[in-house]
Amino acid sequence: MPQETQPLGGHDGPYDAPVEIHEFALHPDWIDYNGHMNVGYYGVAFDMAFERLLVDHLGLGEPQVQALGQGPYVLQSHMQFLREVTDDMTIYFQFRLLDADHKRGHYFGQMISAPDQTVCATQEVLFMNVSHRTGRSEPYPDWAVTRLARMVSDHASLPPAPQIGQPIGIRRK
């Protein structure tokens, strides 16, 4: 499939640091019998919010799949749950791109309670551009590589979040 030489939407930056995704609605069926968002839907919510970043800011995601037959696949994800999300909450997301190369990206996202600005959950993800034709990794178009690098640069000055790069395991004294 030919590489698209023109961007598929989004913009060339500068990119907000961090990028915020607002007007995000919780689906009623995401709330379980405990009265809070079920653990499985945190990943769905992060994915939906990150798709908006891809499309609205970078011109990737679904438009990329439709035009080029390639798109982002998640290789690794680590979530931390810091506070319950209930059906009466309004949430939004903040994303920072930590690193990227010609095929991959590494981002950190935060799910935030809008009324009190409390971080409810975090997600750290490694993703890769994959051809739908071959099922293998494929380089991003040049314009996308440039945009990803610009976003990494625009986010480089953000203070480190304590959840970035944390191992998983039982802590013992």
100 with 107: CB under 8 angstroms? no
pLDDT (tens digit per residue) in 62-92: 999 999 999 999 999 999 999 999 989 999 9
**Tally of domains in the chain:** 1
Query: Is 5 contained in some domain?
Result: no
Query: Is 56 contained in some domain?
Result: yes
Query: Is 102 contained in some domain?
Result: yes
pLDDT (tens digit per residue) in 11-58: 999 999 999 999 988 999 999 999 999 999 999 999 999 999 999 999
Query: Is 171 contained in some domain?
Result: no
Residue carrying the six token digits 């749950």: 81
For residue 89, give the CATH number of its domain. 3.10.129.10
Task: Give the domain range for residue 90.
Answer: 19-155
Structure tokens at 38: 């079920």
Tell me what the pLDDT averaged over the chain comes to: 95
Query: Is 105 contained in some domain?
Result: yes
Query: Is 75 contained in some domain?
Result: yes
The predicted model scores a pTM of 0.93
pLDDT of residue 4: 63
Query: Is 3 contained in some domain?
Result: no
pLDDT bucket at 3, cuts 50 / 70 / 90: low
